[in-house]
Amino acid sequence: MREFEKLKKSILNDYPRLGLEDNFKFACHPGVPCFNDCCADINIFLTPYDIIRMKNHLNISSNEFLEKYTLSPIDENQRHPVIMLKMNDDDKKKCPFVTDKGCSIYSDRPWSCRMYPLGLASPSESIKNEGEFYFLMRDDFCKGFEEDGEWTIKGWIGDQGIEPYDDAGKLFKEISLHPFFDSGKSLSPQKIEMLYMVCYDIDRFREFLFESSFFDRFEVDEKTKEQIKNDDVELFGFGVKWLKFSLFGEKTIEIKDEAVKTAKMKKK
């Protein structure tokens, strides 16, 4: 994690800032000499939406995906759980989904794979008048920059289907960048487990909702119930509201009157 912080500092200080209309040359295809070289010995941090797309592509549960394909590194300065893709245990440390022909889950590949060779930097709030910016990751091994393809940043983002990833990413940032963490506070182990379940083990979160007394205690309309029962993205959106309520005390979920009365009775 310290290496990640060093890289972030280098990006903020050394990399040229690019906007949506700026141009760059790049192309990746089986004819490029370095094809697949970027899919090995690399740290790929997975977002909640990455996991939804990947586990559904593989037709497995979120729990099975997490156990088989991910790692959860721990750092003493870490504010909440993060998930990394687990590379193969071989000399090259290849991605488990890469083949000689390319990515076997290409249509549902993670955000960082779609973005490459673009990166997106988010300076801290302490840097005034500095918003998010794009930059190019010019790895020495990559020959894609020698190809003829020419793009604008905006054009690349559209071509790579990044928009739904960014939309879900904004929801995730409502939790991961919540002011609660900036105040120096930390979550209890139970709340960390709840955050992990909602953000990463989405199928277990659905079980938590539908196989408990949750809907007896909280106001959730029938349309929302149907949506979150059948749509992982809708479920994650609801989960963000639940985390704001359960972790940070925000009034994003309404408690039923009967549940309030029962709680008061138990206190007497």
Highest mean pLDDT among 51-60, 71-80, 95-104: 51-60
Question: Both 168 and 212 in a single domain?
Answer: no
Shared-domain flag, residues 84 and 162? yes
Assess whether pLDDT exceeds 70 at residue 102: yes
Which pLDDT score is estimated for 263?
53
Structure tokens at 13: 């200080």
Span of 116-130, 190-204, 216-230 with lowest mean pLDDT: 116-130
| CB neighbourhood size of 217 (10 A) | 16
**How many domains are contained in the chain?**
2
Note down the domain range covering 210. Answer: 179-267
Measure the CA–CA gap between 210 and 228, rounded to whole angstroms: 10
> What average pLDDT is seen over the chain?
88
Domain closes at, from 142, 173, 204: 173
pLDDT mean over 135-139: 89
User: Cα–Cα distances in Å, from 131 out to 88, 124, 156, 175, 219?
Assistant: 36, 9, 20, 19, 38
The conformation of residue 94, written as its DSSP 8-state character, comes to B
In the predicted model, what is the mean pLDDT of residues 80-90? 92
- Looking at the structure, tell me whether residues 75 and 116 fall in a common domain: yes
Distance between CA atoms of residues 39 and 103, nearest Å: 9
Domain boundary among 157, 173, 189: 173
Would you place residue 186 in the very low, low, confident or very high pLDDT band (cuts 50, 70, 90)? confident
Most confident region among 9-13, 78-82, 241-245 by mean pLDDT: 241-245
